[in-house]
Amino acid sequence: MDTSCFIRPAIEADIDALFDICLKTANGGEDASALYSDPHLPGYVWSVPYLKFAKDFAFVLVQDDRPVGYVVGVADTSRFDRDLQTNWWPFVRQQIAGLAPTRPRDADVMERIQNPRSGTAWLQDQYPAHLHINILPGLQASGWGRRMIATELQALRNHGVGAVHLGVDPNNERARGFYRRLGFSEFEQDGSVAFAMRIDEGLG
């Protein structure tokens, strides 16, 4: 494990890093820069709103004073979605007004911005919290992912959360293996893949 790295709570000054890491990992853990015409598109959905509206559950992995990964989450997916509906998506829609989808993934994310959903709807009743984690390709499989997940789960536990879920790109076999090894249960429905865990037990 790289001892030059450490985990700390995310702060407002990390927003640009969260946008960048999200873009550089949005293609099944690899760089998706060529897939979006606006480099902010993935971060609008999967990283920055968590820092802004669920700060207690936002952490970054830092190497040489530079964030190289993040883990973000929310305690209550339904409440988070309501909050974003009022306080985030109107702003984002203004930011992308006039943007025409010209790259392979533009239309998918633009549709999510118009019809947002942050968790996995068919799991969030039983597993109300959810999380996202991304680490730049050079530090993936370094042992830090496990530590970041443990940090996130402890923060959720500290807020009385009993169960959490997350979605995974169905093609990202490495991520699927990672969550299985951590003790998450795997679910598949309608072509989407998700993992869930009772956190009043797993990961000690």
DSSP state letters, 101-141: --STTHHHHHHHHHS---S-TTTTTTS-EEEEEEE-GGGTT
Closest CA to 54 of 91, 110, 109, 10: 10
Q: Which amino acid is at 8?
A: R
Report the range of poorest mean pLDDT among 15-24, 35-44, 59-68, 139-148: 139-148
pLDDT > 90: what percent of the chain? 81
Return d(Cα 123, Cα 170) in angstroms, integer.
Answer: 16
Residues in contact with 154: Cβ distance below 8 Å, sequence separation at least 6, in sequence order = none
Q: Indicate if the pLDDT at residue 90 is higher than 60.
A: yes
The pLDDT, as a whole number, for residue 117 is 87
Return d(Cα 101, Cα 81) in angstroms, integer.
Answer: 25
Q: Indicate if the pLDDT at residue 28 is higher than 90.
A: no
Q: What is the mean pLDDT of residues 8-37?
A: 95
